[in-house]
Amino acid sequence: MQTMTAKEVEALLNEGKAIDIIDVREVDEVAVGKIPGAINIPLGLIEFRMHELDKTKEYIMVCRSGGRSGSASQFLENYGYKVINMTGGMIAWEGKTEKILT
């Protein structure tokens, strides 16, 4: 499984790179703050929503600490998706966040 640190992901965003981020935390966790532009697909729904993802794109998977996103990465890799797990998760994230308005 490919990995990337939170700092490396932040650097890509700061450089203006177009990256696709999937946050696999639960909705209430994401509501507190997520990486700007990240799409929330809770881990328990990955299997049912993976058809929404494009196998030609590369996705950076994010969760609280890197464990759930690691599981999601392995699962999606088994189905031919290109994924990178962000190690350390949101605990390691020092960049900007956005709150979801409900």
- Active-site annotation, residues: 63
Nearest to 3 by CA among 63, 46, 66: 66
Q: 25: burial class by Cβ within 10 Å (0-12, 13-18, 19+)?
A: buried
CA 22 to CA 46: how far, in whole Å?
A: 10
CA 39 to CA 62: how far, in whole Å?
A: 10
Give me the helices (H) in 1-102, please: 6-14, 27-32, 46-49, 67-78, 89-92
